[in-house]
Amino acid sequence: MEVPKIEKNIGISLYSTNTEGLGGKLRQEVEDFVVKEITNREEGQEGKYLILELIKRNWDTHHLTRTLAKILQISQKRISIAGTKDKRALTTQKISIFDIDASIIENIHLKDVELNVLGRSRKSIEIGDLWGNAFIITIRDIPSSPEEARKLLEKTTNEILFKSGIPNFFGIQRFGSIRPVTYLVGKAIVEGDFEKAAMLYIAEPFPDEPAEIKKARQLVKETRDFRGGLKNYPLRLGHERAMMNHLIANPNNFAGAFTILPKNLYTLFVHGYQSYIYNTILCRRIENSLPLNQAIEGDIVCFKNNVGFPDSSKTEQVTAETVDAMNRLIKRKRTFITAPLPGYKTEFASGIPGEIEQEVIQELKVPLKGFNVVEVPEMSSKGTRREILLQVEPKFEVTEDELNPIKSKVVLEFMLPKGSYATTLLREYMKVDPLCMS
């Protein structure tokens, strides 16, 4: 089945299943997308950090932390999370706030937000605290009967289980659903062209944006008139406006314009470029008929952590002497084959897997040394490895869709390790334009 152009643009050129797509749509209601964080933290009663359970509905995570900081009259840097959650969803996660009394939380009343005090800790919530996420996702508006949908679901699920999972692609959210510009900005940064990077982010229009925004971006792209841009860009494009304000005050300081943005945003650009390269390498491996669930000589594997999820910090290269032992561990889900998220100290595979990795790096003309970003060191990346197989065992229920007459709905339940995308699984079932999944 043909992959949508928007996915091809981010390095995903294939489906791993050969079944028909269900079709349908996601997020018709906020509660159709439920996410709950899986963490190994246990909180106590002592420490400078107040630990809270945050349950939010239809809130962008960064917008919410900014709002909390304003209410508490503190720096946003004092609020920490383990991972960003979907906006149009019902999500549950832990957050920490430095040096705040628990009694203050009782006075916070935000629509569609619930904050529950869990305890205190000497350590803030960090990315490493997140092991994974549990999902309950409803696909609606499926144009087939419940019986037909169930048969197709079973067929796709059986194929996924037979292959031990699906390719662990970075989903469209990593790049931007409406405006997939992240990796293009990152590419320009790694190539050392901050002016191009800034203009791509500020002014490159994309087809699925509203007409007035496309017009405003095009004008700035053609004229470099940032003052005019501030008059025409809506307030919701706050990041672009902040960068333009910086460039008005500091002409040609394009690298500095990125540091005006929140750190967790401006570091995403280089990560987005790494993700695009990784997706391309993973597709190339599949196209060369290399398995995802069986290591060959030259592969680099990582090992499981305490809860059974892959830990890319512990890797080993597979040799002729160890390949059989490694594949026994892979079958027991104790070891996982990886592909590179390249950086300036990338660990590449050898043998045939390494040839594929190097081939893609050369074809895309990736300047590996450029991942050491001197102008903004926080953007730099030594590189790492990521598991290539997303091992998932979904459960599902099919019924009539009460919101869409004569249509069906599916409720899927599954767990994923951190950094993996629910839409990577959903695309195998739905096989639709990614905008139907945003």
DSSP state string for 419-430: T--HHHHHHHHH
What's the burial of 276, exposed, middle or buried (CB within 10 Å: 0-12/13-18/19+)?
buried
DSSP state string for 292-359: SSS--TT-EEEEE-TTS-EEEEEEEE--TTTHHHHHHHHHTTSEEEEEEE--TT-----HHHHHHHHH
What gap in Å lies between CA 332 and CA 429, rounded to an integer? Answer: 26
List Cα–Cα distances, 308 to 132, 263, 304, 412, in angstroms: 10, 30, 5, 22
Which of the following is catalytic: 86, 129, 299, 401?
A: 86
Instruction: State which amino acid sits at residue 296.
Output: I
What gap in Å lies between CA 131 and CA 419, rounded to an integer? Answer: 9
What's the burial of 18, exposed, middle or buried (CB within 10 Å: 0-12/13-18/19+)?
exposed
What gap in Å lies between CA 55 and CA 73, rounded to an integer? Answer: 21
What gap in Å lies between CA 353 and CA 359, rounded to an integer? Answer: 10
Which residue intervals of 42-181 are DSSP H helices?
A: 61-72, 102-105, 146-162
Within a 10 A sphere around the Cβ of 319, how many other Cβ atoms? Answer: 14
Instruction: Kindly report the backbone phi and psi dihedral angles of residue 223, in degrees, each rounded to the nearest multiple of 5, phi listed first.
Output: -110, -20
Q: Is residue 176 helix, strand or coil? A: coil
Within a 10 A sphere around the Cβ of 380, how many other Cβ atoms? Answer: 17
Residue with tokens 């739905």: 430
Helix (H) or strand (E) holding 387: strand 384-387
What gap in Å lies between CA 91 and CA 59, rounded to an integer? Answer: 9
Give yes or no: 86 in active site.
yes
Residues that are catalytic: 86
